[in-house]
């Protein structure tokens, strides 16, 4: 097991957490990796923090323009030299065995991508909660993910060639680009699942998704409509409809409550 892994951090004003994210990559037991730091025109100290590290495997790139998150992910992926690609968001942290726990995945060429369980770390209360207590399925998992989507972008590693095969991430998305990607490849690509939590995702109130619930709903609705004739989608449509309704409710409730208090 000595394959080069390209680790990508897409950053836009991530100064509060990015140091920990970078350190978590450097601490990996498996050391054959490169880290591509794609700066999407940050205006804070993100670049300065990155430059404070001297490891030659760390590579800095400054975007020519500010783009959607998934266009930025595409741009960073195109310069990756590794056979495999993994992402870690600025406010997430890998555990030390994140890469080494994928030994079977890297050595068995029949698997195309790997995902793992993870912890949510609730910053305000200083507690960690495991994402899934259920067995994570491997192999062809579209139907499994349709019922319960348990893949985090920071917990996902895949063969780089897959991106070329599906024409990369949809650059129109800012939130569901990895969901669209994983659901697409899960139809005919084989997954290797790691049951143990291998990372933590911070929940801190300023997460992009939490601050953009309406965008989340709009993007998911767009995805939902585009799947209308897909046989995989059709046989699981009831699960996707439930999620669509849930996202709609979540997107309107905060504003409804605010308006209610304003009227009082």
> Tens of pLDDT along 190-238?
999 999 999 999 988 666 655 688 899 999 999 999 999 999 999 999 9
pLDDT at 189 over 90: yes
CATH number at residue 50: 3.90.550.10
Position 59 confidence tier, pLDDT thresholds 50, 70, 90: very high
pLDDT at 143 over 90: yes
Q: What is the pLDDT of residue 181?
A: 97
**224: Cβ–Cβ under 8 A, 6 or more apart, which residues?**
240, 241, 244
Q: What is the pLDDT of residue 260?
A: 36
Q: Which residue range is the domain that position 50 belongs to?
A: 5-205
Q: What is the pLDDT of residue 251?
A: 85
Euclidean distance between CA atoms 201 and 261, whole angstroms = 32
One domain for residues 34 and 73: yes
Q: What is the pLDDT of residue 250?
A: 85
Question: pTM for the complete prediction?
Answer: 0.91
One domain for residues 81 and 129: yes
Helices (H) and strands (E) in the chain, counts: 11, 9
What is the domain count for the chain? 2
Strand partners, 39: 11, 62
Average pLDDT, the chain: 92
One domain for residues 101 and 227: no
One domain for residues 141 and 184: yes
């Amino acid at each position: 097991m000595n394959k080069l892994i390209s680790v990508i951090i897409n950053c836009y004003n991530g100064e509060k957490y990015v140091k920990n994210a970078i350190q978590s990559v450097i601490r990996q037991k498996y050391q054959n990796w490169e880290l591509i730091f794609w700066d999407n025109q940050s205006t804070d100290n993100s670049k300065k923090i990155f430059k404070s590290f001297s490891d030659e495997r760390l590579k800095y790139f400054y975007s020519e323009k500010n783009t959607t998150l998934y266009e930025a992910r595409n741009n960073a992926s195109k310069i990756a030299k590794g056979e495999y690609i993994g992402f870690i968001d600025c406010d997430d942290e890998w555990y030390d065995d994140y890469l080494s726990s994928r030994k079977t995945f890297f050595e068995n060429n029949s698997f195309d991508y790997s995902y793992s369980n993870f912890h949510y770390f609730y910053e305000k209360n200083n507690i960690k909660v495991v994402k899934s207590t259920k067995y994570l399925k491997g192999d062809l998992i579209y139907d499994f993910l349709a019922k319960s989507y348990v893949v985090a972008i920071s917990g996902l590693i895949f063969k780089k060639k897959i991106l070329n095969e599906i024409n990369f991430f949809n650059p129109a998305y800012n939130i569901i680009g990895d969901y669209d990607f994983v659901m697409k490849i899960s139809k005919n690509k084989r997954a290797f699942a790691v049951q143990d939590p291998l990372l933590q995702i911070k929940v801190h109130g300023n997460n992009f998704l939490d601050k953009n619930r309406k965008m989340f709903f709009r993007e998911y609705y767009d995805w939902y409509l585009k799947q209308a004739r897909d046989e995989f989608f059709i046989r699981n449509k009831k699960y996707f409809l439930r999620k669509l309704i849930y996202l709609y409710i979540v997107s309107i409730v905060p504003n409804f409550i605010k308006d209610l208090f304003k009227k009082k």
